[in-house]
Amino acid sequence: MEREVRVRFAPSPTGPLHIGGVRTALYNFLLAKKTGGKMILRIEDTDQNRFVPGAEDYIRESLEWCGIELDESPWKGGPYAPYRQSERKPMYMQYALQLVNDGHAYYAFDTAEELEEMRERLKAAKVATPQYNAITRMTMKNSLTLPEDEVTKRLESGDPYVIRLKVPRKEEVRLKDMIRGWVMVHSSAIDDKVLMKSDGMPTYHLANIVDDHLMKITHVIRGEEWLPSAPLHVLLYRYLGWEDTMPEFAHLPLLLKPDGNGKLSKRDGDKLGFPVFPLRWQDPNTGEVSSGYRESGYLPEAFTNFLAFLGWNPGTQQELFSMDELIQEFTVERIGKSGTRFDIQKARWFNEQYLRAKPDSELAGYLIKALEEHSISTTQEKAEKIAGLMKERVSFPQDFWKEAEYFFVAPEEYSEKVASKKWNSQSVAVFEDFKNELPSLENFNADTIKELLLNVLERHGMKIGQVMQALRLAVTGAEAGPDLMHIIEVIGREETMQRIETAISKLNSYVSE
């Protein structure tokens, strides 16, 4: 009988959640939902020195914003609570002691100074990677080298110690990764990792394995940076007698800088002007503020769609996927092995597509909200018309105000470039007649406005292309925009007449004698 799929996202509360972490959470979530399984969140806070206040709340809010729903978590609870490793502290020592008793781990009493001396000796001997391993352990102060009675005495007297894994000296450790296939590492390349620290807290390696086993995790999808630790984890599963229920592993490719050279970092985002965190973050220690995708105007569904494609593809030309569609199409096998370049322009493109797909009634809400901040009121109907005209020209919700301000505020300045080229006595004569005849229009709409303009132009022997840019300048102050006749319809008859009159007055110096 197949086991229920159970996946987990296990961040550390050491600061804001990097978008690479959000992608890891997303892929776990998609697999869980695709298979009818469970998505678990576990807070890995064994390193209390790196704990940052507010980080856990940030993780929770980020996942909620992205639409990543949790079945079990510190906040929701579940059958395998608690879901914070610091609250599970009492249970880890028994497994460490089991490893010691079975001969797979040992007590080490080395001081920090002694460890440093060992590393310096190895460096002097030209050892490329100095480490505490099957060879060097025999020169150190541990339960493998000390007499049994001395070990007992040290433990009973409360001497500080750690528990280290006893890695075999000559053994091939094999691991089948769902993305990369078989991975083989020689045990000589693995050091005797600390499993229990001197403060009684487990390290990531032990706590991670114990928790995944006890929480019945079936698949571990995590970043590529954990691949070097995977053989060590395989040994732990084997030594604890859990190899038969060991989860399947999938190590995700790195998110790379836009130029492809190296892992994407906060510094890259700061330098190139884009966020690397889902939400805005203020460091509680320094006060430094980092931008977030939410506050920058990205829609959560666009952000999630964009993230899904950073390493995965559906095997088709389709790019726009709802969360339900992503769940339906997602497979781990379609995740690539190589790193993925981060492309902020593609993120922007996704946002534009999702904005344009929204009904005008919803887009109007963004505009109305911005207008309220500027103490300007309007009707829902007018806001919807403007949103419909502008949605092909915006990338973010806040752009509706930037792009549509002239619908509510008459221009005070005009483009000198357009005025110097297009504003002349002939166009002014057309605008004078056009303005004076606007009151005669019985139905004031884009079609009748255009018909009137064409009639006036015909009388003056001119073509519409000769005056359109100058007329747009007079009405909006802008060089470009959506259909001008529709703009005039929305702005209204009286306001349009006033703006033309003002422009004729202010741009008089450009009229040739």
Omega cis (within 30) before 53: no
Q: Do 509 and 426 meet the contact criterion of CB atoms below 8 Å apart? A: no
Nearest to 191 by CA among 239, 130, 138: 130
Q: What is the rounded average pLDDT of the residues 376-384?
A: 95
Q: What are phi and psi of 249, to 5 degrees?
A: -110, 145
Instruction: Output the CA angle 135-173-128, nearest 5 degrees.
Output: 40
The three-state DSSP-derived secondary structure of 223-260 is: EHHHHHHHHHHHHHHHHCCCHHHCCEEEEECCEECCCC
Q: What is the pLDDT of residue 508?
A: 84
Nearest to 8 by CA among 67, 176, 32: 32
Q: Is 80 a residue whose pLDDT tops 90?
A: yes
Q: Report the distance separating Cα 439 and Cα 361, nearest Å.
A: 30
Nearest to 232 by CA among 186, 268, 285: 186
Q: What is the rounded average pLDDT of the residues 29-35?
A: 98
- The b/e string for 290-303 (b: 16+ C-beta within 10 A; e otherwise) is bbbbbebbbbbbbb
Question: For residue range 286-337, what is the model confidence (pLDDT) as tens digits?
Answer: 999 999 999 999 999 999 999 999 999 999 999 999 999 999 999 999 999 9
Q: What is the rounded average pLDDT of the residues 70-80?
A: 97
Average pLDDT over the chain, rounded to whole? 95
Question: For residue range 173-222, what is the model confidence (pLDDT) as tens digits?
Answer: 999 999 999 999 999 999 999 999 999 989 999 999 999 999 999 999 99
Q: Is 279 a residue whose pLDDT tops 80?
A: yes
Angle separating helix axes 468-476 and 484-491, nearest 10 degrees = 30
Q: Report the distance separating Cα 87 and Cα 95, nearest Å.
A: 16
Q: What is the rounded average pLDDT of the residues 101-130?
A: 95
Confidence band, pLDDT 50/70/90 cuts, at residue 420: confident
Q: Is 434 a residue whose pLDDT tops 90?
A: yes
Question: For residue range 44-55, what is the model confidence (pLDDT) as tens digits?
Answer: 988 878 889 999
Q: How many CB atoms lie within 10 A of CB 262?
A: 11
**What is the set of domains in the chain, with CATH numbers?**
6-73+206-255 (3.40.50.620), 89-196 (3.90.800.10), 266-356 (1.10.1160.10), 358-409 (1.10.8), 410-512 (1.10.10.350)
> What six digits make up the tokens of 315?
């095997």
Confidence band, pLDDT 50/70/90 cuts, at residue 379: very high
Question: For residue range 224-235, what is the model confidence (pLDDT) as tens digits?
Answer: 999 999 999 999
Q: What is the rounded average pLDDT of the residues 270-280?
A: 94
Q: Do 297 and 279 meet the contact criterion of CB atoms below 8 Å apart? A: no
Q: Do 21 and 14 meet the contact criterion of CB atoms below 8 Å apart? A: no
Q: What sign has the CA pseudo-torsion 507, 510, 512, 513? A: positive
Q: What is the pLDDT of residue 513?
A: 43
Percent of the chain past pLDDT 90, that is, above it, reads 91
- The b/e string for 472-506 (b: 16+ C-beta within 10 A; e otherwise) is bbbbbbbeebbebbbbbbbbeeeebeebbeebbee
Q: What is the pLDDT of residue 512?
A: 57
346 is in an annotated binding site: no
Q: Report the distance separating Cα 199 and Cα 209, nearest Å.
A: 19
Distance between alpha carbon 120 and the CA centroid of its chain, in Å? 41
Q: Is 1 a residue whose pLDDT tops 70?
A: no
Q: What is the pLDDT of residue 46?
A: 80
- Which residues are the active-site residues? 266
Q: What is the rounded average pLDDT of the residues 490-497?
A: 96
Q: What is the pLDDT of residue 421?
A: 87
Q: Report the distance separating Cα 250 and Cα 221, nearest Å.
A: 5
Q: Is 258 a residue whose pLDDT tops 90?
A: yes
Q: Is 467 a residue whose pLDDT tops 80?
A: yes
Q: What is the pLDDT of residue 134?
A: 94
Q: Do 381 and 280 meet the contact criterion of CB atoms below 8 Å apart? A: no
